[in-house]
């Protein structure tokens, strides 16, 4: 029994994953780590030759690109040619006011001496420093390398990334985005509009500096018939962070409160024998589509006892059936051959209607039980207890495998 259940769960997981898995993230998109807002202007350290270097060096450029690396780190070594190319480009374009600094992560054989030798052997010429407590406090927010932080003249960390850049163009676009944000757009403000995704109404607005962190939304308003799902950012938004994502405004931004419609169960029962006919899952405020009431000799179906034109809660709906008048006796007709009975319609558990119980039927029932799929609940409810559960899927699988 346990083995069969594990097989069923594995099949369900595999099938569900098909709709959840998306394309792998591009390798050119480094994962960003929080550290934004820390100030490193008071660092005091030495370069690889022992010369003192302080935070005053940040005054030399509008934007300082600080890269944390180690000699043993493969991704660090892979991105260094791109950093060198950009260092040479901006060194020949001093009016751009961009400078590059490296900070070594000491340990595992990476020392000032081995780092200096590595840089010289590969022709890397940007300034490299040892990490003091100030720089280390920023880089230790994640503990991974390579890391890159973008710092302004004021020493404030504007962005922090984990992962290496895989192309020169990627690195250049990243630097230019932040250089423009810190120079051309330095005095601009952006409007952030918080919107109710169901009604379209504006919840609130905020004005923030360009490239500043967008204020976190407050509590989403309650909307009848809906459950709050998440806030979705759109427009000119830049995401920074890893465990805690920070959203930054690079222009006007819309933050939308998204919701999931509440679904109610509407159970339809036979008005003569009391059997469950079907269960419909209906979104709040919508109408349920009724089933065809079974015919019963001697009874006439008149309708349903409960209104389901606007469902706002779980409902039980029962057919109204009245006794038919006694028919006038008719002469006994000549016997006629019995018609060949048609195959049953809606065999319990046969979700695809092919007349055979199969693993595919069990999988569909499991998806209905997990509310990943809408289906005819009267067929999915194999054990006829009024509720579609994993037990129904398991029973159908046992029948499909002829396990009794």
CATH of the domain at 212: 2.60.40.4270
Least confident of 42-56, 84-98, 171-185, 319-333: 319-333
For the chain, what is the domain count?
A: 3
The reply to whether 200 and 58 lie within a common domain is: no
Residue 187 DSSP class? T
pLDDT of residue 17: 32
The reply to whether 236 and 137 lie within a common domain is: no
Mean pLDDT value of segment 154-163: 92
pLDDT of residue 395: 87
Question: 390-400 and 359-369 helices cross at what angle (nearest 10)?
Answer: 180
Between 398 and 167, name the one with better pLDDT.
167
Q: How confident is the model at residue 19 (pLDDT cuts 50, 70, 90)?
A: very low
Distance between CA atoms of 244 and 32, rounded to whole angstroms?
10
User: 107 and 70 in contact (C-beta within 8 Å)?
Assistant: yes
Rg (the chain; Cα; Å): 34
The reply to whether 61 and 203 lie within a common domain is: no
Mean pLDDT value of segment 244-269: 94
pLDDT of residue 367: 86
Distance between CA atoms of 203 and 192, rounded to whole angstroms?
11
| Domain containing residue 95: CATH number | 3.40.30.10
Least confident of 122-131, 268-277, 321-330: 321-330
The reply to whether 173 and 95 lie within a common domain is: yes
The reply to whether 99 and 165 lie within a common domain is: yes
User: 300 and 315 in contact (C-beta within 8 Å)?
Assistant: no
Q: How confident is the model at residue 26 (pLDDT cuts 50, 70, 90)?
A: very low
The reply to whether 197 and 125 lie within a common domain is: no
Placement of tokens 């810190």 in the chain: 182
pLDDT of residue 352: 80
Between 400 and 213, name the one with better pLDDT.
213
- Asked if pLDDT for residue 258 goes beyond 50, the answer is yes
User: Is residue 15 assigned to a domain?
Assistant: no
pLDDT of residue 379: 86
The reply to whether 55 and 99 lie within a common domain is: yes
pLDDT of residue 357: 83
Percent of the chain past pLDDT 90, that is, above it, reads 65
User: Is residue 118 assigned to a domain?
Assistant: yes
Least confident of 11-15, 116-120, 201-205, 355-359: 11-15
The reply to whether 233 and 269 lie within a common domain is: no
- Containing 31, the helix (H) or strand (E) segment is strand 31-32
Q: How confident is the model at residue 210 (pLDDT cuts 50, 70, 90)?
A: very high
- Can you give the residue range of the structural domain that contains 311? 264-326+344-400
Q: How confident is the model at residue 20 (pLDDT cuts 50, 70, 90)?
A: very low
- Containing 379, the helix (H) or strand (E) segment is helix 377-380
User: Is residue 339 assigned to a domain?
Assistant: no
Distance between CA atoms of 186 and 222, rounded to whole angstroms?
37
The reply to whether 289 and 360 lie within a common domain is: yes
Chain mean pLDDT for the chain: 86
pLDDT of residue 13: 36
């Amino acid at each position: 029994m346990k083995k069969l259940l594990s097989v069923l769960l594995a099949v369900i997981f595999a099938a569900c994953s098909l709709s959840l898995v998306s394309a792998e993230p591009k390798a050119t998109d480094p994962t960003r780590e929080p550290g934004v807002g820390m100030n490193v202007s008071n660092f005091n350290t030495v370069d690889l030759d022992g010369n003192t270097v302080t935070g005053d060096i940040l005054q030399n450029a509008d934007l300082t690109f600080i890269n944390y690396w180690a000699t043993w780190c493969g991704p660090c070594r892979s991105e260094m040619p791109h950093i060198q190319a950009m260092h040479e480009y901006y060194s020949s374009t001093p009016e751009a006011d961009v400078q590059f600094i490296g900070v070594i992560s000491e340990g595992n054989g990476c020392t000032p001496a081995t780092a200096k030798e590595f840089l010289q052997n590969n022709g890397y010429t940007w300034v490299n420093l040892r990490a003091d407590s100030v720089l280390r406090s920023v880089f230790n927010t994640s503990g991974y390398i390579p890391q890159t932080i973008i710092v302004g003249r004021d020493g404030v960390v504007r962005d922090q990334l984990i992962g290496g850049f895989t192309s020169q163009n990627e690195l250049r676009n990243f630097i230019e985005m932040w250089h423009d944000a810190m120079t051309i757009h330095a005095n601009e403000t952006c409007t952030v509009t918080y919107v109710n995704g169901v009604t379209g109404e504006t919840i609130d607005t905020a004005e923030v500096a360009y490239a500043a962190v967008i204020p976190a939304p407050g509590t989403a308003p309650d909307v009848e018939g809906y459950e709050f799902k998440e806030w979705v950012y759109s427009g000119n938004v830049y995401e920074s962070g890893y465990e805690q994502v920070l959203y930054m405004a690079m222009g006007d931004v819309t933050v939308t409160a998204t919701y999931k419609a509440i679904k109610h169960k509407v159970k339809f029962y036979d008005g003569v024998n009391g059997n469950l006919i079907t269960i419909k899952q209906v979104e709040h405020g919508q109408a349920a589509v009724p089933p065809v009431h079974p015919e019963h000799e001697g009874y006439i179906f008149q309708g349903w006892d409960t209104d389901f034109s606007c469902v706002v809660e779980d409902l039980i709906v029962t057919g109204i059936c009245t006794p038919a008048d006694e028919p006038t006796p008719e002469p006994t007709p000549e016997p006629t051959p019995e018609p060949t009975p048609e195959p049953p319609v809606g065999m319990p558990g046969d979700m695809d209607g092919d007349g055979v119980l199969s693993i595919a039927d069990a999988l569909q029932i499991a998806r209905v039980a997990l509310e990943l799929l809408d289906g005819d609940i009267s067929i999915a409810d194999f054990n006829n207890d009024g509720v579609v559960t994993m037990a129904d899927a398991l029973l159908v699988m046992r029948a499909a495998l002829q396990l009794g």
